[in-house]
Chain A
Amino acid sequence: MAATPDPAPLMPSDNESLTQIESQARSELDAVDDDDALERWRVSYLGRRGRLTLVLRGLTSLPLEERKSVGAQANRLKRELEAELQEKKARLGQSATEALIAERIDVTLPGPPLRAGRLHPTTQTLRDMLDCFVSMGFQVVEGPEIEWDHYNFEALRIPKDHPARDMWDTLWIDAQEESDRPMLLRTHTSPMQIRIMEQAQPPIRVVVPGKCYRYEATDPTHEWMMTQVEGLAVDEGISMADLKGTLADFAHRIFGPDRKVRFRCDYFPFVEPGMELRIDCFLCGGEGCRTCSRSGWIEILGAGMVHPEILESVGYDSERYTGFAFGMGVERIAMLRHGIDDIRLFYSNDLRFLDQF
């Protein structure tokens, strides 16, 4: 409550002698056995309107002689009581601590449960991957999941009726009207290579995370919705050696410094030369097992030097600028990191699965 003004000090009554106060205070203090009672005792004797306080305040109305002797006694008593109060307080505290010690609890019991929330394992692995590339100077950008055929295929040198289209079975959007601009669910994050280069000039260094979709029957290693990370670097003087170095750094950071990393030739229409990164199988140590289809190596990602026709098509001078691009599946990397043997677990969202990460 708000402060209220003090009432006028009261005089002790005749029979309220200091001796009486002293003896009552001492016997009451003796009986005090907890902190609350001690506080009540303090208020009743030493508080703002406590009995001893009132005696001291009333001194001014006494004749000088009396004032002196009563004053001296009252002040002595106040000092003594205050000291005894402190002493009692310490004793009480000590005995409370002793009581706690005596009580003992079962330290093996669990604490009350806190609800743990977690990020999805795809999100966790994706963040680690992006952190790794960000530390190498790549910026994170995103693009549309529903794309034009132009960006997903045509501009990446995969024209209609090109056999390479078999590499990406596609989910098409039903056009309400006949259109020469087919729309689709992007099959990879590579369309962003074109979109980025159309809007910026070298130097370029980006990674593009995002969902991709394939027309695909699901099984332990195939899922129709997946998350990819695309990378693109374009500048003067970028070589395959730089691509190898960037990807090797990435693989060692994500899978550990002892992993063996190998690069083999591979084909993607939008890169030349093309490559694939493999790491030695950590299940069999390179001996060959089911996970690595007996090769001892596990494919991690596809990459290559940006095709010069693509650089020219976005208006870059392909003699001056070179670049590399790579793309990889986040779930696959999460599977390898966590020993998950079925990709369908990711998006079935069973909490017994999600709780483990």
Chain B
Amino acid sequence: MRVPLKWLSEYVDLTIGPKELAERLTMAGVEVAEVITAAGEWDGITVGHVVDVSPHPNADRLVLATVDLGGEQQTVVCGAPNVAAGQKVPFARTGARLIDGRTGEHTVLRPAVIRGVESAGMVCSEKELGLSEYHEGIMVLADDAPVGVPIASFLGDPVFDLEPTPNRPDLLSIIGVAHEVAALTAAPVRDPSSEYSAARKPIKGRVQVQIDDPDLCPRYVAALIDNISVEESPAWMQERLMAAGLRPINNVVDITNYVMLELGQPLHAFDLTRVGGRKIIVRRAHAGETLILLDGAEQKLSADMLVIADAEAPVALAGVMGGLNSEINLNTTTVLLESANFHGPNIRRTAGALKARTDASNRFEKGLSPHLPPIAAQRAVKLMVEMCGGKAADGIIDVYPGKRKDIRVTVTQRRLHALLGMELPVARVRQVLSSLGFSCRWVPPDRFVVRVPYWRTDVSIADDVVEEVARIIGYDELPTTRLRGALPPAQPQPRRDLRTRVADILAGAGMQEVITYSLTSLGALRKVVAPEDLSVDAPLRIANPMSQEQEYARTSLRASLLRTLADNVRRRDEFTALFETARVYLPRPGDLPDEVETVAAVITGRAPGRWGEPEGEPAGFYEAKSYLDMLLGRLGVSAEYAETADYALLPGRAAAVSVDDRRIGLAGQVHPRVASQFDLEAPVAMFELDLDALLPHVAGPRRYQPAAPYPAVEEDIAVIVNRDMPGARVQSIIQAAPLVRSARLFDVYSGPQVPPGKKSLAFSISYQAADHTLTDEEVRRQQERILTRLRGEVGAELRG
């Protein structure tokens, strides 16, 4: 909503400057997004024409600019780099009031001698005019700027670009803004006049209005004006409309727009001769009906849309746009003026469905006051009488099935105090409310009875009134205190805590956390998830996706991580390890999806050597496992790994991770087929864990184990087993033996020194007893037993 201040000042005196007014409005909840031309005090500043630029005799960075002011010329010193002959510029004479470009203070321009040259005036920057902060060069005006005229008449009045909140349709009118200004600056509001004398016989009988669907049209007011001559509106009205951002069309249409901007009530003018049967019927559209709107688009209407119809067919889409068939044209002589109230949600739905949001629908959808239609109609008739040579029919037709009473709200001092955290004197409350147009009666000992002005459709309960008081006083005036009172009992959040711990551990181990989008494409999921899994957990689709890339709620983090990895390794060639903790969304019939907390990681590249250059083998399966082992170890989880098959992983390099026989995740090397789809050439390892499945297995606080006072004995053994025997199985047999404190694998060998198809596994075993020093004999016997078990269970032989 653009509010030209000159127009605004017709209804309320503007006693403070535009900048301060904008600030006060904004703080009170009426956001002024921009002051479009902040004409400060531009006395003595006129449009000039630069006719010559020559070097300053005593300074390299300065020039002498000769400026024609229409009949006289001034030569001034100028330091702006952009000044050039031929420009139209704002020129300030000595004595002009402007803003100091360095300090930002208001100042009066004095004559000066700059490096020995007298300078009586200056060429101004935007900052010096208070238009912006720009002070790096002079302001250059349009070529058609008239030389010699005051700058204010060329640049125009300041205009507020207002962004009212959706609860305040009254602020989509100049008069509504005037009420705010009045309350904030203690000035009275002057309502525009709607007095006119009717020159024709009564409207009754000349036109009929019938509301078939009063649920969607609580009120319909019609007026008739004869003897209209359609032509251009006067210049003052055209200027105002343009300043407010509307294009002038003709005097009749301009008046409807003008009154809409002035009072907030959209109006529509029909050519009476084109309204069949001289009858207005407000009804829902019939199925299959069509209407060509003013913008030329033919719209198919549905039965939930409200139309204005004549005896035969729709002539307007109610509250949205008129129809071409009843439009005002140059031959129109009798105008049927509509000023109605419509049901907001319905108008919004219709405008949205037809993609035809208009200035009218934008106001109606927010719920206008049903008090407005007769006021606006009379104001428009008055203007048509004055500007179009119109002769008004006597009276108006006012069909008002949805009559609404004034709203009265009771507000107690107790409530006011409870919400604001401070007490306010009764007189202060009454003064604030009446400045906003509320009437306020004090009923001792504790109540205010407040009547809400009709234009404030947003106020209906006591707390709304409290806000009115608070915002006009200013929120900054309220006290600032801290919360007191009892705290609720603490609820554990194990799911969140686990995610936090996982992120800390992985980042601490050198992985970089990334956060990627939750939505992905089906194509991306297909690259990393088996078709059968995609059909079991078919991802949720977005009904209105912004793009194909963001069409599905992801059921796996893999694709996003691989893509992120690929984007980054293109830029660098270092060891790269990324992880993400996020949810995947597994659909459930008839319910919200299961949002499964997941961690996934991808690793690629060679680790840095002494000087940071990549060295050695590229990271593969075992690097992924290193991170996983450490993560699970720190969480106190002992997991088992078993070879598995996975769509995205290389066979033979994929492991299922389980705890207590429940599968919680996967680790593996990404299949080159998959990697290449992401343009990844080097080997990539990954793991993923279902944190919700892991959660019940995470150990609580560790139990302290005192160090045994008796020394441990270290013995190494090497055994030969079949090549496909899982090392973890051999290790677990050793680990399970009595007196074995730990067993650490330290070598794996297959080659000429062992038989074909075999491998050698070497373990360092630490034996220890809790209650005595082990003898050599005990250790030897234990080792024998271990070897016997290994021989029996996994066919192991001691390596000689």
Q: Is B235 an interface residue (CB 8 A)?
A: no
Q: Is B506 an interface residue (CB 8 A)?
A: yes
Chain A residues within an 8 Å CB radius of B500: 127
Q: A240–B506 contact, CB under 8 A?
A: no
Q: B464–A239 contact, CB under 8 A?
A: no
Q: A350–B483 contact, CB under 8 A?
A: no
Give the residue of B513, B542, B583, B593 whose beta carbon is less than 8 angstroms from that of A117.
Answer: B513
Give the residue of A141, A146, A238, A348 whose beta carbon is less than 8 angstroms from that of B493.
Answer: A141
B-facing mask of A294-316, CB < 8 A → 1, else 0?
Answer: 11000000000101110000000
A351 and B512 in contact, given A163-B365, A183-B592, A237-B484 (Cβ under 8 angstroms): yes
Chain A residues within an 8 Å CB radius of B517: 225, 347
Q: B776–A2 contact, CB under 8 A?
A: yes
Q: B518–A211 contact, CB under 8 A?
A: yes
Q: Which stretch (A18-26, A74-82, A265-273) binds chain B?
A: A265-273
Chain B residues within an 8 Å CB radius of A272: 461, 463-464, 466-467
Q: Is A119 an interface residue (CB 8 A)?
A: yes
Give the residue of A142, A173, A241 whose beta carbon is less than 8 angstroms from that of B479.
Answer: A241
Q: A245–B418 contact, CB under 8 A?
A: no
Q: A245–B507 contact, CB under 8 A?
A: no
Q: Which residue of A lies closest to B777 (CB)?
A: A2
A-facing mask of B658-690, CB < 8 A → 1, else 0?
Answer: 000000000000000000000000000000000
29 contacts between A and B (CB under 8 A): A112-B610, A112-B611, A112-B612, A115-B510, A137-B483, A139-B488, A141-B491, A145-B583, A146-B593, A160-B345, A161-B349, A162-B348, A163-B348, A164-B166, A164-B167, A173-B542, A185-B519, A185-B553, A203-B485, A225-B519, A235-B486, A242-B482, A265-B471, A287-B104, A293-B34, A305-B419, A351-B512, A351-B576, A352-B571
Chain A residues within an 8 Å CB radius of B496: 140, 142
| Size of A's binding interface in residues, CB under 8 A | 99
State the B residues within 8 Å of A (CB): 26-29, 33-34, 104, 132-133, 165-168, 344-346, 348-349, 365-366, 418-422, 461, 463-464, 466-467, 470-471, 475-476, 478-488, 490-491, 493, 495-496, 500, 503-504, 506-519, 540-546, 550, 553, 564, 567-568, 571-572, 575-578, 583, 585, 592-593, 595, 607-612, 713, 715, 776, 779-780
Q: Which residue of B lies closest to A170 (CB)?
A: B544
A145 and B540 in contact, given A117-B511, A265-B471 (Cβ under 8 angstroms): no
A113 and B491 in contact, given A146-B593, A224-B550, A265-B28 (Cβ under 8 angstroms): no
Q: B507–A287 contact, CB under 8 A?
A: no
Q: B510–A117 contact, CB under 8 A?
A: yes
Q: Is A230 an interface residue (CB 8 A)?
A: no
Q: B488–A123 contact, CB under 8 A?
A: no
Q: B483–A120 contact, CB under 8 A?
A: no
**Cα distance A213–B542 when bound, in Å?**
12
Q: A241–B475 contact, CB under 8 A?
A: no
A117 and B483 in contact, given A141-B491, A263-B475 (Cβ under 8 angstroms): no
**Cα distance A272–B462 when bound, in Å?**
10
Shortest A2–chain B CB gap in Å is: 4
Q: B542–A172 contact, CB under 8 A?
A: yes
Extra pairs beyond A265-B27, A348-B567 (15, CB < 8 Å): A2-B779, A112-B610, A115-B608, A118-B512, A120-B513, A120-B515, A136-B483, A137-B483, A145-B595, A146-B593, A161-B349, A239-B421, A240-B421, A241-B478, A347-B515
Q: A242–B483 contact, CB under 8 A?
A: yes
Q: A242–B713 contact, CB under 8 A?
A: no
**Cα distance A240–B420 when bound, in Å?**
5
| A window 176-197: CB within 8 A of B | 183, 185
Chain B residues within an 8 Å CB radius of A354: 512-514
**Cα distance A160–B715 when bound, in Å?**
75
B-facing mask of A48-65, CB < 8 A → 1, else 0?
Answer: 000000000000000000
Give the residue of A113, A172, A294, A308 whose beta carbon is less than 8 angstroms from that of B544.
Answer: A172
Chain A residues within an 8 Å CB radius of B610: 112
**Cα distance A183–B407 when bound, in Å?**
36
| A window 106-122: CB within 8 A of B | 110, 112-120, 122
Q: Which residue of B lies closest to A4 (CB)?
A: B776
Chain A residues within an 8 Å CB radius of B419: 239-240, 273, 305, 322
**Cα distance A162–B347 when bound, in Å?**
11
Chain B residues within an 8 Å CB radius of A346: 515
Q: Which residue of A lies closest to B33 (CB)?
A: A293
Chain A residues within an 8 Å CB radius of B486: 203, 235
**Cα distance A210–B418 when bound, in Å?**
31
**Cα distance A306–B788 when bound, in Å?**
73
The 4 A-B pairs at the shortest CB distance, nearest first, are namely A241-B421, A265-B29, A239-B421, A273-B467
Shortest B116–chain A CB gap in Å is: 33
Q: B133–A167 contact, CB under 8 A?
A: no
Q: Which residue of B lies closest to A266 (CB)?
A: B29
Give the residue of B34, B168, B493, B577 whose beta carbon is less than 8 angstroms from that of A140.
Answer: B493
Shortest A216–chain B CB gap in Å is: 8
Shortest B2–chain A CB gap in Å is: 17
Q: A238–B483 contact, CB under 8 A?
A: yes
Shortest B133–chain A CB gap in Å is: 6
Q: B481–A146 contact, CB under 8 A?
A: no
Q: B480–A273 contact, CB under 8 A?
A: no
Shortest A205–chain B CB gap in Å is: 6
Q: Is A31 an interface residue (CB 8 A)?
A: no
B-facing mask of A217-255, CB < 8 A → 1, else 0?
Answer: 100000011000000010111111110111011000000
Give the residue of B418, B507, B516 whose beta carbon is less than 8 angstroms from that of A237.
Answer: B418
B-facing mask of A126-163, CB < 8 A → 1, else 0?
Answer: 01000000001101111011111000000000011111
Chain A residues within an 8 Å CB radius of B420: 239-241
A305 and B104 in contact, given A160-B345, A173-B540, A351-B568 (Cβ under 8 angstroms): no
**Cα distance A242–B481 when bound, in Å?**
5
Q: Is A262 an interface residue (CB 8 A)?
A: yes
| A window 312-357: CB within 8 A of B | 322, 346-352, 354-355
Q: Is A264 an interface residue (CB 8 A)?
A: yes
Shortest B230–chain A CB gap in Å is: 34
Q: Which residue of B lies closest to A143 (CB)?
A: B595
Chain A residues within an 8 Å CB radius of B510: 114-117
Chain B residues within an 8 Å CB radius of A72: none
**Cα distance A224–B479 when bound, in Å?**
37
Q: Is A175 an interface residue (CB 8 A)?
A: yes
**Cα distance A123–B503 when bound, in Å?**
10
Chain A residues within an 8 Å CB radius of B541: 173-174
A215 and B544 in contact, given A239-B481, A308-B461 (Cβ under 8 angstroms): yes
Q: Is A171 an interface residue (CB 8 A)?
A: yes
**Cα distance A148–B507 when bound, in Å?**
35
Q: Which residue of B lies closest to A265 (CB)?
A: B29
Chain A residues within an 8 Å CB radius of B511: 117
Q: Which residue of B lies closest to A200 (CB)?
A: B488
Q: Is A29 an interface residue (CB 8 A)?
A: no
Q: A241–B422 contact, CB under 8 A?
A: yes
Chain B residues within an 8 Å CB radius of A12: none
